[in-house]
Structure 1
Amino acid sequence: MTDSMENVSQPVRERLEFGLAEARNASKLILRYYHAADLSVELKADESPVTAADRGAEELLRKAIEKAFPDDGILGEELGETPGTSGYRWILDPVDGTKSFIHGVPLFGTLVGLEFEGKCVAGISRFPALDEVVYAARGGGAWWQKGTATPTQVQVKQTNQISESLFCYTAAELFDRVGARSVYDSLSRKAKVSRGWGDCYGHMLVATGRADLMVDPLLSIWDAAALIPIVSEAGGLFVDWTGQESQTGGNGISMTPGLKDAVLELTRPAVKS
């Protein structure tokens, strides 16, 4: 942790420090399955894949949280919700980018978001195969740590034109799924560079100043909760397609502030009422 985190309330700071340690522990479990020849893959009801790494990592995180903060709520992608009474709720996506994980691509991450009374106050995005983590708490800045190196504070780029931007996305067919292929086509055509570096990795590219724009047509709360404080503390915007900062909007955009008007001009009309 860094000195600037002293500006963060003690309860949030304690939970962030704890979350960083437990996300590292979850990484060790996940990496035991990474590149495993006998990895078993199941399909959930929505046709998305799930593995023992997803379930095992979430179980590890939940047990640790329940022991350390028994009054906190927990919501996880794989194991549902446990209500709490403290006002804090942990939101977990143990392997964001399971398809990348299954194929041996190292751009998957573990997302740990923290809410207090419904507001996202801290977020962790750890990349087990890269041994990197990006994290933030409201008022404490956004930080990027590689291995055991000293964390460095990060800021988004100051790009004001889509024509000068690096635009990231997860998969073009997701835009088709929500009837918004025109958004993808327009951004791909207008951007200087378009790349499918997706899932949480694309959003962290924006937060760390390596990309300018990441657009997701479909996001669940466990995909978004950790991203909001990280991107915002890096000086960027994380909003849904209507322009609202929300972990429940069903979609999401991470971007430099200078792109807001031009991007929302494309996404707002594509939102189904």
Structure 2
Amino acid sequence: MQAVKHIVAVASGKGGVGKSTTAVNLALAAQAAGLRVGLLDADIYGPSIGMMLGVDPAQRPAPAGDNKLAPVVAHGLQTMSMAYLVTEQTPMVWRGPMAAGALLQLLEQVAWQNLDLLVVDMPPGTGDIQLTLSQKARLAGAVVVTTPQDIALLDARKAIEMFNKVAVPVLGIVENMAVHHCSACGHAEAIFGQAGGAQVAADYAVPLLGQLPLDIALRSAGDSGAPLLISQPHHPAVASYAVIAEQLQEALAQAASELPEIVVE
């Protein structure tokens, strides 16, 4: 992990809010901005990064010496996932401590190569994986993904509270599925509610990094293994991811500048 400058967790309180889609496209947007980026799939039970990046299911990490594994490079990103170590049909029927131990191995036994940013796609919830990452890794901060729906916002608040308890700064909120534009008539409709992400951001005094649409292109790009930033670089949502990545870089720079200067005499 000494080869990683910043580690940022992309988290949510519940599943189904587009957290993995956000993590993948955010990592690619940061790479497009000139950063050396890695992507770690910390969802031990339901890893999806390999499929979303189009990695061959038969792909296995190569040994890198000193009991380490080389990251699998996909679309220029250095990646690692439990999906690279088991087959698609293998369920991880593990208790929490075993999953946490697997996460530690993925963190510590991967030979990351001079990364400016390591994006960690977290599983939903506030359990063992989240606590292990918060306690064992040098997290620069977390990005919380939610939808405007009240149920999702309730769990997003729990995620923010968890990061506050373990002293991990929340760098911002990403509101996913904020609005749907009808492909036939262009009518815009807030299917899951309005301004929920903005309200949570205001309540916790953190930035609203961006709002992303409910768009079939985002879903189909992830399912096909060709993320939107790769397959449709001129799609309107791509500009939103670029803005989110830019704001994330600014938040990381500000957090670094606020660290106290330590002088040893």
Where on the TM-score scale, by shorter chain, does this alignment land: which range?
A: under 0.3
Superposition TM-score, scaled by structure 2 size: 0.26
Which has the bigger relative contact order, CA under 8 A and spacing at least 6? 2
TM-score, with normalisation over the residues of structure 1? 0.25
